[in-house]
């Protein structure tokens, strides 16, 4: 009897130790809930590279064709404001190239233009308050801003707007990280919207990436966590870096069992098909969202797909098949959810007090409707 | 010398195979859309309307408007979105027989077009030359499009070339839209 009791305790102890060793318990899941639908007009398609959810209730989306920003009220599912932007003239409020935006509130929006390199500040009447030329702010190696889709959204702390620049656009073809050029990979800078001053921060690609391989194709995901913690996650490898001041950093390694993040050589990136094929055939981290209500992070992972002659490579590249890793504030894995293939457009997702909303605007979705935005709510639940 | 001849022969075989393979893909595409290629078609223009280099698009759309109804040209509009097609072409324009709306993105699956428009010059239903209209390739000789026979085509393309100047730089970004 005593031996049996001893064996039981021993086995329980070993199970506990095994759990501790793995570093996480998957006690949570994301359960699909209601569908939120918002009708859109004929000039709007249900996809955009620039979106933002703000002030608890508003979803804003850039309409590239119309060069406008549309704001929808989530509660009423109605368009409540359409900010027409102008590419020229005295009232110029946008650039000729890529434009994206950040809403400080419903009364104040910063339109960020890549060409010319201006930030246009608009008031509640869509009028220009001022424009800031940020080309003088950031260094010669930082040529282009990173587009805000998939984990590159601008963030605001006080009056400072934090932006990421495009690594690929700044590097030479076949750029390889070395001890000598690592400072060329500083990823973040801020623009003070009050004083127009800017600052480039000392956060570079990690030394672990120094090797003889081309760095193109490896991006950094960025978000703000609790108490304005800057959180960086590279699309390759399992490292997460955090900092409050960009002087001292903490490094975490994701405690996921999935180590299958093969290095992607995109040095032949001028061959678009080959590049896209390489991308979709490998796992990569593609999106990072912080949920302030639950104090957790959602980390989206592209699931690799073996291509064949029937694979729609372009669609697969634009609409990644994803799993979501749910992480706590110590970046330990507390849940994993596999999203249904060909149903979601993870580029458009946001969080409110109800949970995580992910667009169902995948063109292969059997319920795809061009005339509406549709979001599936996912609620965090204990298993 | 012999080895050189053999290599030349192999190269010729390979290049001719390459041409046939392109023609086969074109024909496969047309078959899927129940549209057999007739001998009159001299040019097929594939225009991707989503995930595309916008500047490249502006130029080719301008050209396509000039040649709607021209039976020597077949236009393929590649997008799943009806709204996107409607934003560039009126209902009336879309009734032209020389337009195919490739809503299944088959042309992209068959790698007939990528992120910039592509042009296939044809003779007797066979591809004789292709152009990828990404920004760097836009110095092509457009006179070839219609066997040097169309003054109108030449004029339009000349205008397009002028319009195109000074637009480089933002292409990579625009493709992400």
How many Å lie between the alpha carbon of A90 and the closest alpha carbon of chain B? 22
Sign for the CA dihedral angle at A122, A84, B134, B167 comes to negative
In angstroms, what separates the C-alpha of A312 from chain B's closest C-alpha? Answer: 5
Angstrom distance (rounded) from CA A106 to CA A212: 48
Rounded Cα–Cα distance for residues A182 and A204 (Å) = 7
Residue A356, pLDDT score: 98
Q: Per-residue pLDDT for B73 more than 60?
A: yes
Average the pLDDT over A288-310 and give the result: 93
Residue contact B174–A98, C-beta within 8 A: yes
What torsion, rounded to 10 degrees, do the Cα atoms B118, A145, A238, A263 define? 30
When pLDDT is averaged across residues B22-29 and rounded to a whole number, the result is: 88
Distance CA A73, CA A51 (A): 14
Residues on chain A touching B114 (C-beta within 8 angstroms): 272-273, 314
Question: Nearest CA of chain B to the CA of A50: how many Å?
Answer: 9
d(CA B91, CA B98): 14
Q: Taking the CA atoms of chain B, what radius of gyration do you get in angstroms?
A: 17
In which element (H, E) is residue B19 found? Answer: helix B2-32
A355-374 core/surface letters (b: 16 or more CB in 10 A; e: else):
bbbbbbbbbebeebebebbb
Residue A141 confidence (pLDDT) above 80: no
A4 vs A122, residue with greater confidence: A122
- Are the beta carbons of A98 and B173 separated by less than 8 Å? yes
pLDDT exceeds cutoff 50 at B175? no
Residue scoring higher pLDDT (A129 or A114): A129
* Predicted confidence band of residue A158 (pLDDT cuts 50, 70, 90): very high
Whether residue B114 and residue A65 make contact (CB cut-off 8 A), yes or no, is no
B2 touches chain A (CB under 8 A): no
Model pLDDT for residues B146-160, shown as the tens digit of each residue: 544 343 444 444 444
Contact A288, A151 (CB under 8 A): yes
Among the partner-chain residues A98, A312, A370, the one whose CB lies closest to the CB of B105 is A312
Q: What percent of chain B has pLDDT over 70?
A: 60
For position A378, what pLDDT does the model report?
A: 97
Query: What does the alpha-carbon distance between residue B49 and residue A314 come to, in Å, rounded to a whole number?
Result: 12
B111 touches chain A (CB under 8 A): yes
Q: What value does the mean pLDDT take over residues A332-338?
A: 92
ipTM: 0.72
Mean predicted lDDT score pLDDT of chain A: 84
Question: What are the b/e assignments for A199-237, b being 16+ CB within 10 Å?
Answer: ebbebbbbeebbeeebbbbbbbbbbbbeeeebbbbbbbb
Q: What is the pLDDT of residues A11-51, one digit of tens each?
A: 434 433 333 334 445 789 999 999 999 999 998 999 888 99
3-state secondary structure of A20: helix
Contacts of A361 (CB under 8 A, 6+ apart): A46, A47, A345, A348, A368, A373, A374
Q: What is the pLDDT of residue B102?
A: 94
Q: What phi and psi values does residue A276 have, to the nearest 5 degrees?
A: -65, -40
pLDDT at B167: 37
| Residue A259 scores a pLDDT above 70 | no
Express each pLDDT in A160-202 by its tens digit: 999 887 655 455 666 778 888 888 788 888 999 999 988 888 8
> For residues A50 and A60, what is the distance between their CA atoms, to the nearest angstrom?
8
- B19–A contact, CB cutoff 8 A: no
* Confidence at B42, pLDDT banded by 50, 70, 90: confident
Q: Answer yes or no: do B81 and A363 touch at CB < 8 A.
A: yes
Distance separating alpha carbons of residues A282 and A22, to the nearest angstrom: 24
Lowest mean pLDDT among A307-321, B9-23, B51-65: B9-23
User: How far B161 CA sits from the closest chain A CA (Å)?
Assistant: 19
Nearest CA to A220 out of A269, A179, A260, A168 is that of A168
Between A132 and A137, the more confident residue is A132
Q: Which two tokens stand for residue B47?
A: 């225009």
Give the closest residue to A329 by CA, choosing from A357, A355, A283, A296: A296
* Cβ pair B76, B143 in contact under 8 A: no
Count how many Cα atoms sit within 13 Å of the Cα of residue B56 in the half-sphere of its side chain.
32
User: Does the beta carbon of A98 lie under 8 angstroms from any beta carbon of chain B?
Assistant: yes
Top pLDDT among B97 and B170 is at B97
Q: Is the dihedral of CA B49, B53, B58, B63 positive or negative?
A: negative
* Pairwise CA distance, residues B64 & B74, whole Å: 10
* CA distances for B7 relative to B14, B19, B20, angstroms: 10, 18, 20
Q: Give the tokens for residue B108.
A: 């992209």
Residue (of A307, A302, A336, A340) closest to A318 by Cα position: A302
Residues of A in contact with B102 (CB under 8 A): none
Give the contacts of B136 (CB within 8 A, at least 6 positions apart): none
Determine whether the interchain pair A45/B83 forms a contact, defined as Cβ–Cβ distance below 8 Å. Answer: yes
For range A206-232, the mean pLDDT:
86
Tell me if chain B has a CB within 8 Å of the CB of A358: no
Rg from Cα positions in chain A: 22
What is the average per-residue pLDDT within B118-141? Answer: 72
Q: Measured between CB atoms, which of B51, B108, B170 is closest to A98? A: B170
- The answer to whether A133 and A117 are in contact (CB under 8 A) is yes
The single-letter DSSP state of residue B146 is G
pLDDT at residue A139 above 60? no
**Touching check for B108 and chain A: CB below 8 Å?**
yes
pLDDT at A15: 36
Q: Which residue has the higher pLDDT, A276 or B135?
A: A276
Tokens of residue B71, six digits: 């039976």
DSSP notation for A230-292: EEEEESSSSEEEEESSSSS-EEEE---S---------TTTTSHHHHHHHHHTS-EEEEEEEET
CA B19 to chain centre: 15
Alpha-carbon gap, residue B42 to B47, rounded angstroms? 16
- A84-95 confidence digits (pLDDT tens): 999 988 889 998
């Amino acid at each position: 009897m005593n031996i049996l009791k001893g064996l039981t305790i021993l086995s329980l102890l070993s199970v506990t130790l095994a759990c501790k060793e793995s570093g996480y318990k998957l006690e949570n899941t994301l359960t699909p809930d209601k569908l939120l639908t918002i009708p859109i007009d004929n000039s709007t398609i249900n996809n955009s590279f620039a979106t933002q959810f703000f002030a608890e209730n508003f979803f804003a989306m850039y309409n590239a064709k119309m060069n406008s920003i549309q704001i929808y009220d989530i509660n009423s599912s109605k368009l409540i404001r359409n900010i027409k932007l102008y590419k020229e003239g005295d009232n110029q409020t946008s650039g000729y190239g890529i434009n994206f935006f950040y809403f400080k509130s419903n009364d104040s929006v910063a339109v960020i233009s890549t060409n010319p390199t201006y930030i246009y500040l608009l008031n509640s009447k869509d009028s220009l308050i001022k424009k800031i030329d940020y080309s003088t702010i950031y260094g010669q190696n930082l040529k282009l801003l990173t587009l805000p889709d998939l984990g590159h959204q601008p963030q605001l702390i006080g009056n400072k707007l934090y932006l990421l620049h495009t690594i690929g656009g700044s590097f030479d073809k076949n750029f390889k990280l070395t001890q000598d050029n690592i400072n060329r990979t500083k990823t973040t800078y801020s623009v003070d919207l009050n004083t127009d001053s800017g600052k480039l921060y000392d956060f570079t690609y990690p030394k672990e990436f120094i090797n003889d391989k081309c760095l193109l194709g490896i991006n950094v995901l960025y978000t703000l966590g609790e108490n304005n913690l800057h959180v960086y996650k590279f699309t390759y490898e399992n490292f997460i870096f955090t900092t409050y001041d960009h002087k001292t950093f903490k490094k975490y390694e994701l405690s996921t069992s999935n180590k299958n993040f093969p290095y992607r050589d995109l040095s032949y990136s001028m061959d678009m098909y080959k590049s896209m094929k390489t991308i979709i055939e490998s796992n990569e981290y593609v999106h990072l969202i912080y949920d302030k209500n639950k104090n957790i992070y959602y980390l989206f992972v592209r699931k690799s797909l073996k291509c064949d002659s029937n694979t729609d490579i372009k669609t697969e590249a634009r609409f990644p098949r994803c799993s979501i890793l749910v992480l706590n504030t110590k970046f330990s894995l507390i849940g994993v959810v596999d999203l249904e293939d060909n149903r979601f457009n993870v580029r458009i997702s946001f969080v409110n007090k109800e949970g995580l909303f992910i667009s169902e605007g995948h063109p292969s979705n059997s319920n795809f409707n061009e005339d509406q935005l549709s979001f599936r709510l996912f609620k965090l639940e204990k298993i | 010398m012999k080895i050189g001849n053999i290599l030349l022969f192999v190269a010729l075989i390979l290049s001719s195979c390459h041409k046939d393979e392109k023609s086969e893909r074109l024909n496969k595409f047309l078959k899927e859309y129940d549209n057999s290629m007739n001998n009159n078609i001299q040019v097929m223009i594939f225009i991707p309307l989503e995930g595309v280099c916008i500047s490249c698009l502006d130029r080719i759309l301008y050209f396509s408007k000039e040649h709607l109804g021209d039976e020597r040209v077949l236009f393929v509009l590649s997008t799943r979105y009806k709204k996107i097609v409607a934003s560039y072409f009126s209902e009336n324009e879309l009734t032209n027989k020389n337009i195919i709306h490739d809503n299944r993105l088959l042309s992209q699956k068959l790698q007939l077009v990528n992120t910039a428009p592509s042009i296939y010059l044809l003779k007797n239903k066979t591809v004789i030359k292709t152009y990828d209209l990404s920004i760097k390739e836009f110095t092509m000789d457009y006179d070839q499009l219609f066997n040097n026979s169309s003054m109108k085509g030449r004029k339009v393309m000349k205008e397009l070339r002028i319009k195109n100047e000074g637009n480089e730089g933002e292409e990579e970004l625009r493709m992400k839209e």
